[in-house]
Amino acid sequence: MTTLESRLEYAGTRDRFYDYCRWEYTPAVGWRGKFRSVNLLYHSFDAAGWGEEAYMFVRALREGFGAGRTVWGVKWRGGELSWEFYVYDYRRRERRRSISRFLEILRPFASCRIRPNENLPYFMFSVDVTPALLAGTQPLERVHMYIGNPGSSVSSGICYALEEDRTRLENVYFFFDTERHIEDAAAKAACSAHLDTTVLDAQAVFRPGLTRCRTLCVANKQENDCIYFSRIDVDQLLLFLREMSYPSVLAGFVEEHRTELDHLLYDVGFDYRMAGGGLEVLKSGYYGFF
């Protein structure tokens, strides 16, 4: 039986590093011989008891799209872990990493009846990945497709759900440089159908331990809003995992291997809405790449 220790990957001098938008960054400290980001994903598989098919799928995506081209997200909602994989290609219609290509890579694992229109100018798509999907007992029924949102003074994107027989709007995202536009981010969070700022100040969503980051993203979703903190350090990641009540085994792994993870920058976020005059966190996630 293959152990987690035998799967762990270590960074080399030629490694490059990306945040959850697949924008490149310079590591916080020297990285040679330290953990790659994918080790956190592998550990989450191990903690959840995933089978070999999860690791095979990661390998298939790397072979199909190239190393460092896929972003992963580990989500925590209602006491359960879930996973989402994101593929970027900012060349849009000139893209090489398409939904169609992803479905080809997926075919040995699961079926899908979605027929994407590759003429659309999307720059990214994502898929929720489950054990049932990779075991072939559940078809892929939805792909999340992201396109640009011209006309805004900040970077912005729109997410649509692609299904077999329909396309529907899901989310709208706005990205703010923390040093220059944190007040604009707060104003965007306050302009919400899910937050009554006469009762609860919008600053309630800006966790003090996390706002020391590079970028803030505020998103409007169908039933709640969401905030993301991009390029935080390993200590902030630990704070986030504890505040969001992730399984202790996940936070414990980060704490145990802190010095092997301190070169990486991390991205985290949580879905929220008001409930009973306070802030209710519905789901949270942390992100990396492989």
Instruction: Report the pLDDT value the prediction gives residue 152, as an integer from 0 to 100.
Output: 74
User: Average pLDDT for consecutive 10-residue bins of the chain (290 residues)?
Assistant: 90 97 96 98 97 96 96 97 97 95 98 97 97 95 96 90 97 96 95 94 91 97 97 98 97 98 98 95 98
| H or E segment and range at residue 62 | helix 52-65
Angle at 20 between CA 124 and CA 283, to 5 degrees: 95
Name the residue with tokens 């920058």: 265
Dihedral of the alpha carbons of 252, 256, 257, 258, in degrees to the nearest 10:
90
CB atoms within 10 A of CB 17: 20
Ranges of each domain in the chain: 4-174+233-266
Instruction: Report the pLDDT value the prediction gives residue 252, as an integer from 0 to 100.
Output: 98
- Give whole-number Cα distances, 90 to 23, 97, 240, 282, 284, in Å: 10, 10, 30, 30, 26
